[in-house]
Structure 1
């Protein structure tokens, strides 16, 4: 990639040498003939260089307008989100976001061969939203989104058909937006993937063909497209080194200074979905973040190629934000923000409507956004947990948490607006914060089951770390019967919360989906319903349970308590008994 950086420098020097004459002449002729200012192109049709690194840095932070124009139904509301309004974009801008990614699925609004014409009303709607966002001052990125798996994935068996349809979309988009502001970016395709390919080599070949065709179509369309920033993904938008190297080869061949690389990141998979015992943001999950963005930085950013993290989040959020325990979730986003900031990677939060309310214009979890926003500029202190459990049936004792200072220093512990007294209400020894039993008892009042008080640990930088004082007793599960399509264990949670569940047969082998681990996936196989007082086992779980074989479930709770329970499937019937 050293050669690409040298080439970029040549283009820059060439452009500067023209500034006093040829560029002015070219621009004047174009304006006279077409009424549109020309964008100078380098010899051979290559784009005149812009400061792509600085422009992408100016896009930090970014937000995704997910599950709207990318919906695969007949309308942008078909996945449950309201129609996009200028007020929504205004409010997103007010949150501090500087760029917006607008995913678009085109195939459901596209005619057949050979023209593959996009419905004018739909194209105009996309243009309207893009124009609103640009008027708000955003950098804007549009793409081809769910088409990637709906029909583009068939490219191994229909190479010419897929390419013709793909080229038709970008030809129409390039012509529609050719004179739009340079703050509009094009992303070639979202999460490219290929069905029944022969393997990595063919995947790389096909994606290189798509990216190269996209690049040629946009650059040759002229106008501001001559130097528009173009965003190219890896296969699957993966940050694995082999996928990064494949995209590097495409960048080298295109030799264009106005290209941007993009990847997505949804965390270390066992943690991201809460499976295989990955319910904590532990050293393994943290190292996965470090490794992913170190690879991306070393492959691209360190060599002068900007990177956009086009989507980030946790996969478990697709089911419910409670799939990942809240404190562990906050630690993940705090650390991801820190690493991407230090690696100079622009981030775009994936939001399919689960985070920012699109008509009320507020965050479903303000602490979640506060943690993310803080990470844009600094680090925040956290702790080993955001909950302190005290059994109601036993005497209250001192409780100790380990602080993760993250380069900050501890400044205060507060209950509401009251600052607690060090030495009396709590002690601090190094990174060990100990809450005194008398303080826990006093603040917990009558000690009803659940969270009785919330403390906040303050640090020299970042946002406070909230600590809930929870009163609990071991949960009680009761015998019941049901079916594989609807089985709910009556559960008295008594203030406790489920962390994870194991499932094993009597011979010790693992039961249910993901039979390589005893720990099952939260939400997809089991889920607590605290309001209803039940623990549900899903049809997906029973679909992979042997008929007639007893399964022992071990529920792990955040207090540290474990409770065992037996279920047996017989056809579509299920019986459940206490262990």
Structure 2
């Protein structure tokens, strides 16, 4: 995946000890072919099963949008050039494995030899060597080639397969003597254009995986039993796709194989469309059912499963597409249930999560939640926000707790513990913060977040709750074009959750016309600092000319604001109220 575009451990120290016992520690210098080749003169490490190796790879991280960038240079998609210091700092975050996506197409010559540029191969080998030296389990693949030329397999079978064969022959030959901690993934997110349907797709997918398997196994050296990772079609977790991959595993009959899929959540929640602003029961069930399928289809049969990429699709624009507390609940559930089902996970990071220059997390709270889920569940609540209306008398605020098997031990403000039955009360799974407490903590503050309290449980990480002062937002009249309409907005401490759009004469307006609720930051976008809501051309491209559209803006406080649009040609007029 690109920004287009996407058990196990009980303790990290236990895995370190396991790696030493099994003889899988990284070689002291593996940055070049000579070093890889020298390994064959050393005593080989003790063999481990594919399941044991994949378990040891948990948790994993993706070096996304670097060597997989489409273009002549690894910085083409905005990330800095890879350094060993970057990898060392990622390793220090607790990751045991690293997936290094590689796109080869711009560096591969024409047929019939399809020779990969030696300088590029050397660069891939250098980065792989650094990662191994830092103690990572490493996975490399053929990445965006999938949508650049491999997808043409149905209509150009011989040429595509010849190029694919040449690529893997060269990759396998280069890394044949690399340590066993290096694994190969046949291809990223495969799909085909021009096939005759599901059966044909399944046949082509099997052909790719089988060809890859035969090339690598036949290349000798450590490749004879190296871990090989095979994806489903589209890296999909649909049962039909899983069953197709199982058929390939049965035919190859190789114990050193692992399966892989990608998971970016229940799609409407993952991009924030159709009113799925919250990580609700539907979104939770989608994740639960998916991981259960993966466990029963693969892990329970002794086949290790790697979720090679995970995240939320809305992150491809920015991580604020999904509200903070809702995204934290997703990642908590993701990590906890993956651990329960014996699944190894690799976080997709195209540069939006770990700053590769400053070596820090752009959202520390998000990573805190992710990291905690590797070893334990954490308690959460129905929201991480309490809204206090500035123009009215404060009332009690109640949150529903999901303790995840723990107990609420305290509610903390700064360094002070709040007093139970005076400042707050607990009844079953209901936590109520008293009105007087909210007034005391938030005071007559300005609009927006005025303070934060922390809910602490008997296990896992705390759940922070932000107390905001707000009043109903005020929108003003505006005139613009179908290229962009900017609506002046006084948010007054509130935050926009979603927007509905319906024609005055009936029917849903705008893109995704199967729902009245539009996609956040695609059909509309708030700008709190500038004080406006923007409707871009992507919204108006799907709005009829000479029409009136009624908008309803839904805010996280629960307030709604109505607004009317009139389109005439390329001119758009917005009216408040």
Q: Same fold (TM over 0.5)?
A: yes
For 1:139, which of 137, 140, 160 is the aligned residue?
Answer: 137
Shift of residue 36 of structure 1?
Answer: 6.9
Structure 2 partner of 1:452 = 450
Separation in 2 of the partners of 1:313 and 1:285? 14
Separation in 2 of the partners of 1:523 and 1:200? 34
Question: Which secondary structure does the structure 2 equivalent of 1:215 belong to?
Answer: helix
Is 1:39–1:224's contact at 8 Å kept on the other side of the alignment?
no
Separation in 2 of the partners of 1:392 and 1:109? 60
User: Residues 499 and 427 of structure 1: is their aligned pair in 2 closer, same or farther, counting only changes over 3 Å?
Assistant: same
> Aligned residues, how many?
539
Q: Equivalences for 1:69-468 in 2 at 5 Å?
A: 69-468=67-466
Shift of residue 461 of structure 1?
Answer: 0.5
Is 2:39–2:178's contact at 8 Å kept on the other side of the alignment?
no
User: Residues 147 and 432 of structure 1: is their aligned pair in 2 closer, same or farther, counting only changes over 3 Å?
Assistant: same
Q: After alignment, is 437-446 or 222-231 more displaced? A: 437-446
Structure 2 partner of 1:474 = 472
| TM superposition score normalised by structure 1 | 0.92
Is 1:233–1:262's contact at 8 Å kept on the other side of the alignment?
yes
Question: Which secondary structure does the structure 1 equivalent of 2:360 belong to?
Answer: coil
Separation in 1 of the partners of 2:486 and 2:234? 37
User: Residues 36 and 90 of structure 1: is their aligned pair in 2 closer, same or farther, counting only changes over 3 Å?
Assistant: closer
The root-mean-square deviation of aligned C-alpha atoms, in Å, is: 1.4
Is 2:39–2:179's contact at 8 Å kept on the other side of the alignment?
no
Shift of residue 50 of structure 1?
Answer: 4.3
TM-superposition CA deviations, 1:409-450 (whole Å, max 9, x none): 100000111111111111111111111111111111222100
Separation in 2 of the partners of 1:534 and 1:35? 62
Is 2:176–2:221's contact at 8 Å kept on the other side of the alignment?
yes
| TM superposition score normalised by structure 2 | 0.92
Structure 2 partner of 1:504 = 502
Separation in 1 of the partners of 2:40 and 2:491? 68
Q: Which aligned segments of 4 or more residues in structure 1 are displaced greater than 3 angstroms?
A: 34-40
Structure 1 partner of 2:489 = 491
Structure 2 gaps of 5+ residues are 1-36
Shift of residue 176 of structure 1?
Answer: 0.1
Shift of residue 39 of structure 1?
Answer: 12
Is 1:39–1:227's contact at 8 Å kept on the other side of the alignment?
no
Is 1:457–1:464's contact at 8 Å kept on the other side of the alignment?
yes
Separation in 1 of the partners of 2:476 and 2:179? 64
Structure 2 partner of 1:532 = 530
Structure 2 partner of 1:557 = 555
Is 2:177–2:221's contact at 8 Å kept on the other side of the alignment?
yes
Shift of residue 37 of structure 1?
Answer: 3.7
Is 2:184–2:228's contact at 8 Å kept on the other side of the alignment?
yes
Shift of residue 486 of structure 1?
Answer: 2.0
Structure 2 partner of 1:45 = none
Separation in 2 of the partners of 1:461 and 1:201? 48
Separation in 2 of the partners of 1:192 and 1:39? 38
Separation in 2 of the partners of 1:532 and 1:285? 33
Is 1:38–1:224's contact at 8 Å kept on the other side of the alignment?
no
TM-superposition CA deviations, 1:119-148 (whole Å, max 9, x none): 111110010000000000100000000100
Shift of residue 485 of structure 1?
Answer: 1.4
Question: Which secondary structure does the structure 2 equivalent of 1:78 belong to?
Answer: coil
TM-superposition CA deviations, 1:157-194 (whole Å, max 9, x none): 11111111111110000000000000000000000011
Separation in 1 of the partners of 2:290 and 2:178? 34
Structure 1 gaps of 5+ residues are 1-33, 41-47
